[in-house]
Amino acid sequence: MDLCKAFISANIPLNKLQNTEFRQFLQLYTQKDVPTESTLRKFYLDDCYEEMMKNIRQRVFLKKIWISIDETTDAEGRQIANAIIGTLEEDRAGDIFLLNTDALEKTNHSTVCKFFDKSLSILWPDGIKHDDVLLFLSDAAPYMVKCGKSLNALYSKMVHVTCAAHGLHRTAEEVRGQFSTIDKIISNVKKIFKKSPSRVQIFKTHAPNIPLPPEPVITRWGTWLNASIYYCEYYKQICEIVEMLDSEDALSIKIAKKNLVKTCVKSNLVYIKSNFKVLSDSILKLQRKNMPLAESLDILEKVQVQLQMAQGYDGQKVHKKFETVLNKNSGLKILKQISKIIGGESDNMDDLHEDLTTNDLSFYKFAPITSVDVERSFSIYKNLLTDNRRSFKLENIRKHLFSATRVKNNLSNCLNI
């Protein structure tokens, strides 16, 4: 079983054991017979999985927990849902584990609710401990919000919070929508240097001490704002380099030249950096591990203060978007109230779930307010399902995922965004 664990933890495909040279190497230096791929998969993979689940159950035994669920579309077009759990401790940040991976027939509140219950039945096969689930984290998709409301009938102590980092990203998208010229510059300058070694060489020759223009991914939190800040810092150099290129070579060059010289560009870049850099900075801060709840909430408070100070129509629009996002996150309001009670700033417990006891509240001291851990879990999933491993059955993917995180038994130490 140790060989199976080692291969899976290192993300080495089991079919590598079919390589004659590799088998001979292992046999020579271990002086033991080396099992075949099929032997490991049939007789040892299940044991690795069960060992991991046993370990998780022991670590979670008699603990209060939080759960986070998200879904993505994999390379095969399947709607894949992951469930992450973490222990809620009174004096420290808890341990985090991948609990379940499964394909959803459809993505709606009904299928997510079923996946939620199915995942917790894996953790507690003798009966789900509904009162031990104190927090549910997800994105703000309407079906997730509806799912949270439906689940409260069974999980009466559970607070449903939509991801605060995702909320900041949605606010950052409002910034992008207000500055179309800057958006065109970012999009087209990125295209100029993508897959063009000759232009990259021109860039490095002319500006050897600055990085290449960033390639923001719309689904990656805060990357568009970071790109705007880049252009604010290196505007002059970018203009000089783009001007050196022939407009007839690519449409992106022509569009970039046209927009870079617009009179509003420099002032817009300064405005974005001065007023909205706090959004991208705070998204990064919220992704830090092991933060107390009060510290996470303080980050949001500082964003709110900074956005209130933004002058002009664009600043007001962005601030309004932020306030709308916060107001829709009813679970976050509850966590703010709990944090004030824990910190001795308030004695008002009127608006809390009536089933929450005074003892329960102490377990929220290190409660997370983002779903970044479940986002991280998809990174391992995508690393497993590479182009040459598309025949992977979902059942085996699940077992490989569990074993891939077994070394530290702590998801937050195993994954990086």
What confidence tens digit (pLDDT) does each residue in 267-306 have? Answer: 999 999 999 999 999 999 999 988 999 999 999 999 999 9
How many CB atoms are located within 10 Å of the residue 154 CB? 13
Rounded to an integer, the average pLDDT of 197-225 is: 90
Lowest mean pLDDT among 96-110, 207-221, 233-247: 207-221
Average predicted confidence (pLDDT) for the chain: 88
Rounded to an integer, the average pLDDT of 36-47 is: 72
Give the model's pLDDT for residue 357.
93
The residue ranking higher by pLDDT, 43 or 367, is 367
Measured at the CA of 415, the angle between CA 220 and CA 384, to 5 degrees, comes to 90
The residue ranking higher by pLDDT, 170 or 16, is 170
What confidence tier does 128 reach under pLDDT thresholds 50, 70, 90? Answer: very high
Percentage of residues of the chain with pLDDT beyond 70: 89
Distance of alpha carbon 127 from alpha carbon 97, whole angstroms: 19
Give the model's pLDDT for residue 76.
81
Whether the pLDDT of residue 71 is over 60: the answer is yes
Whether the pLDDT of residue 211 is over 80: the answer is yes
Is residue 296 within 8 A of residue 135, CB to CB? The reply is no
Give the model's pLDDT for residue 18.
77
What confidence tier does 383 reach under pLDDT thresholds 50, 70, 90? Answer: low
Rounded to an integer, the average pLDDT of 346-366 is: 90
Whether the pLDDT of residue 415 is over 60: the answer is no
Whether the pLDDT of residue 408 is over 80: the answer is no
| C-alpha dist (Å) from residue 284 to 174, 180, 237, 240, 331 | 18, 25, 27, 31, 22
Token look-up 């894949």 returns: 80
Tokens describing residue 408: 């530290």
Give the model's pLDDT for residue 390.
62
Give the model's pLDDT for residue 20.
80
Tokens describing residue 222: 């805060």
The residue ranking higher by pLDDT, 409 or 308, is 308
Q: How many CA atoms lie within 13 A of 371 on its CB side?
A: 27
Give the model's pLDDT for residue 176.
94
β-pairing verdict for 133-138 and 79-88 = unpaired
Which domains, ranges and CATH numbers included, belong to the chain? 55-163+364-414 (3.30.420.10), 164-328 (no CATH)
Give the model's pLDDT for residue 413.
42
The residue ranking higher by pLDDT, 76 or 261, is 261
Give the model's pLDDT for residue 40.
72
Distance of alpha carbon 213 from alpha carbon 203, whole angstroms: 10
Separation of CA 373 from chain center: 6
Give the model's pLDDT for residue 280.
95
What confidence tier does 260 reach under pLDDT thresholds 50, 70, 90? Answer: very high
Rounded to an integer, the average pLDDT of 308-319 is: 94
Whether the pLDDT of residue 259 is over 90: the answer is yes
What confidence tier does 407 reach under pLDDT thresholds 50, 70, 90? Answer: very low
| C-alpha dist (Å) from residue 42 to 48, 149, 344, 385 | 11, 41, 56, 20
Percentage of residues of the chain with pLDDT beyond 90: 67
Tokens describing residue 89: 């401790």
Whether the pLDDT of residue 405 is over 60: the answer is no
Distance of alpha carbon 212 from alpha carbon 238, whole angstroms: 10
Handedness of CA 331, 165, 274, 291 (dihedral sign): positive
The residue ranking higher by pLDDT, 403 or 302, is 302
Rounded to an integer, the average pLDDT of 53-69 is: 94
